[in-house]
Amino acid sequence: MADEPTKPLNRDKPFKRINNEKFIVKAQERPDGDGVAAGCHIPEDFGEFDKEFVEFLKNRIPAVKTVSDILDTVRKVARAVADAARIAAVIAAVIATAAALGFAAAGPIGSAIAGAAAAVAATTALILGIIDDVLGVIEDVLKTFFGILGRKILPRAIRVIPQWVPVRKGASNAVADTAQVVEVEGICTRSFGNPIDVPFFNWNFWFQWNVQVLPEPEYQNVLSPASGFPTEGLRPIIRDRSFEIHWDAGAIYADRSPFLNGFPATEMPLHDGPMITSEWCWPMAGMFVWASGRWVYDCSRATSGARPQMTAMINPARAVATARFQAHDFKENTTSVPAIQFLFFASRQGGYIDHTAIDDTDYEFIVDLPPIEMPLHPYPIGHTPEFPHNTIVVRPRLLKDVRPLPEAGVAKLEPIVEPIRPEDPTRPPTQVKVKVPGATLKGAGAAGFILSLGWFDPNLEQARNVKICKLTVDGFSGRLQIRDSPAKKLLDVFDKEKNGLRDAIKKRVGDIKILDIPTPFGNIVVHVRDVPVFGALVEDMVAKAFDEFIKGLIKLLPLEKEEWLLRIGVNGLWKTVFFDGVGSSPVELREEKFELVRDRLTFNLHLARGDLLSFATHGTEFDPVGDMMHSPRTNRIITLNGAQVLWREIVNPPPDAKQNRREMVFQYVLKVMTDTTEGVDKMALGFENSPLGLIDPDPSRRGTSPQSNPMVIQNNVKDTPVRRTATFARAVGDPMILVEDPSLRDYIIQYTLEIKDLVAQ
């Protein structure tokens, strides 16, 4: 029929969502980027709360035993400076100062003043008491350093309470209902597990997976006009005009108990999302992607200025589809043949908020088929020997294989596959319509499948186009740039602040009274600042206190090492490995101790001529706040009145919104400051993870050489080493914008590629 939706054949865009008009954003619905009007908050909203916060944190930090122990040690070390000889010198100086100040009172009165001063000052207990006062001032000022550290976290905490609000004004913050759902499709520009996420259960079970797409023309209206985020002049990881789709990689597991109970860092690869821990076809740069989900503003990423704009995105997604051309072994054939593999996955489980339904629509797609060089021919049929054939097999015959997605839910989906008949009835179909009836998802928490479509191949004509491709990751260079470790970051902050801390101590100590002697002419008052010898003693006490304080804080941090969670993807198959203690030396996976890792990072694929071989890596370097993500739920919740705060209360905290938002913000910072991340006597001190550099395939640079990424499969390749370099990445500003520095290399990864015929030619 003329009004039936169609799509052109396109290997780069091998499918198209159809009959979804109600989920496509219209021109009049374009977002204006005003996330503040929708419920986002910015640091300026809090006014002078940062000063109040410093006092809040200063009063609570010492209650943490490890901090209390540091302050006790600081006091002991600083007191040791005041030995008997120096106390005697201070007493003599105090007497001389008092006498000098009372010199105007001549005769017997002056002598009486000098005598009184000598009598009072000669009491060692008095001087020791003054020294205790000095120590109290030093300790009190040092407590404010935690406030300085915490104040750096405060803007981020404000931006993420709440972090996501609906673009459509007045929409629910309790559930993601159908009215909030939009759809988008386009070429994937980046795909990675977020390296930095809010570590609390109210927000995330695990790190979000971020799929960025360049929307097709009919989907352009989903984009926010927000642009010009603070990047310190570096290149944003997100490509220009891309749209982000986020999914909590932990929330979509059928079994989410590991995130409730917690697990050690070494087990992170076992729980890094079902798209990683199972054999899915998950988006990579260059693949075509469709997604459906809640349309929100990301409050944590805002432009600067008086009226900031926020970026729009889908979070959480509720369904996703992608596809790859990759050979498949159908049961009807004796070996692999060229095929298209189409992934569909839907889930109500969103993490911070759930979808009310995934069964409110039929999901329909037009999907391209792998080409076939087998036109239909007429065959005369009759009795032999008059006719050459008395039986015939009609060829080509379309084959279908549907495999459920492991770990994605128990519901089994059976898509309806209907060939689209070509205008020329002598030609085989080039496309099919794939339909997932919404009714088949009724009652399901999550479900999905990989649909493989190919052709019957009794004579191995197609199999002769298939190659066995083996890609083995051999190792990587280690870190080529040393990231700012938590200890270095701590020292940098302390170095910037220590002069201010020293001045604050000097002023407050200088005001301490040593003597206050009444006379007929008025009181003779001696302050610490009046006694140069006392000033020298205080300087030494402060120096020792500073040294001991910073040494103690560094001991609170986890060991000085880089822990890498490295994700490696080949043609939509992703795998994760964890390296505990990456340095500047190469990591050689050929070593015996890495045998299991090397086996895991060996990819065996069957690809036909013309198919693409794509390679990608990215990852996370774990710092203390990130380690909170694998701790038990009880350590990872923000509460009000002792109960976990629901998402709708994070967006609109009743009954006293201002006070409760203040409480959540302060609690957020206190937790990421004081959380114990790696055993007893360790603290996070607010230091977030760092991103590892991304390596992505670039469709514009495809070629037939093994050095191309993606590589177009054509000829056989003997064992060939391939090296790829990741650009150094980091997060900047309190919005934590992910950027790349093209002038710096992060690491070099090497793999060996071998390609040979599946069937002897």
pLDDT tens digits along 115-155:
555 555 555 566 777 788 889 999 999 988 988 888 889 99
For 503, other C-beta atoms within 10 Å of its C-beta total: 11
Residue 213, pLDDT > 50, answer: yes
519 contacts 170 by C-beta, under 8 angstroms = no
Residue range 155-176: mean pLDDT, rounded: 95
Percent of the chain at pLDDT exceeding 70: 89
Residue range 676-682: mean pLDDT, rounded: 61
Question: Which residue reads 């600081």 in tokens?
Answer: 74
325 contacts 338 by C-beta, under 8 angstroms = yes
Residue 466, pLDDT > 70, answer: yes
Hey, is 20 helix, strand or coil? coil
360: in domain: no
Q: β-strands 615-622, 690-695: how paired? A: antiparallel
Task: Supply the pLDDT for residue 381.
Answer: 56
DSSP assignment letter at 579? E
Judge residue 44's burial from the number of C-beta atoms within 10 Å of its C-beta, 0-12 exposed, 13-18 middle, 19 or more buried. exposed
Higher-pLDDT residue of 520, 59:
59
Q: How far apart are CA 297 and CA 306, in angstroms?
A: 18
| Tokens read off for 53 | 């916060």
Residue range 320-348: mean pLDDT, rounded: 97
242: in domain: no
Residue 530, pLDDT > 70, answer: yes
Residue range 401-414: mean pLDDT, rounded: 86
110: in domain: yes
118: in domain: yes
Q: How far apart are CA 745 and CA 428, in angstroms?
A: 50
Closest CA relative to residue 579, chosen from 569, 589, 590: 589
Task: Supply the pLDDT for residue 612.
Answer: 98
Q: How far apart are CA 674 and CA 119, in angstroms?
A: 48
492: in domain: yes
| Start-to-end Cα distance in the chain | 44
Interval 637-673: pLDDT, tens: 999 988 999 999 999 998 888 889 999 999 999 999 8
Closest CA relative to residue 4, chosen from 364, 343, 319: 364
83 contacts 516 by C-beta, under 8 angstroms = no
CA atoms within 13 A on the CB side of 628: 29
Task: Supply the pLDDT for residue 550.
Answer: 93
Q: How far apart are CA 292 and CA 446, in angstroms?
A: 14
Find the domain containing 540 and state its range: 49-159+487-556
Percent of the chain at pLDDT exceeding 90: 64
Closest CA relative to residue 213, chosen from 244, 235, 237, 182: 244
Confidence of residue 385 (pLDDT cuts 50, 70, 90): low
Residue range 206-220: mean pLDDT, rounded: 98
- H helix or E strand, kind and range, residue 692: strand 690-695
Hey, is 313 helix, strand or coil? strand
| Tokens read off for 411 | 């519901």
DSSP assignment letter at 704? S
Which pTM does this prediction carry?
Answer: 0.90
- Residue 152 to residues 137, 145, 156, 158, Cα–Cα distance (Å): 24, 11, 8, 11
Sheet strands (E) in 121-227:
164-166, 181-193, 208-215
Residue 1, pLDDT > 50, answer: no
Judge residue 39's burial from the number of C-beta atoms within 10 Å of its C-beta, 0-12 exposed, 13-18 middle, 19 or more buried. middle
Residue 622, pLDDT > 60, answer: yes
664: in domain: no
Judge residue 388's burial from the number of C-beta atoms within 10 Å of its C-beta, 0-12 exposed, 13-18 middle, 19 or more buried. exposed
227: in domain: no
Question: Which residue reads 């795998």 in tokens?
Answer: 575
DSSP assignment letter at 755? E
Q: How far apart are CA 363 and CA 536, in angstroms?
A: 78
Task: Supply the pLDDT for residue 104.
Answer: 47
Domain count, the chain: 1
200: in domain: no
* φ, ψ (nearest 5 deg) of residue 517: -105, 120
Residue range 353-372: mean pLDDT, rounded: 96
Residue 106, pLDDT > 90, answer: no
Higher-pLDDT residue of 491, 675:
491
Closest CA relative to residue 164, chosen from 38, 293, 29, 303: 38
Q: What is the mean pLDDT of the chain?
A: 89
Task: Supply the pLDDT for residue 392.
Answer: 53
Choice among 123-127, 261-265, 399-403, 431-435 with the minimum mean pLDDT: 123-127
Q: β-strands 235-236, 208-215: how paired? A: unpaired
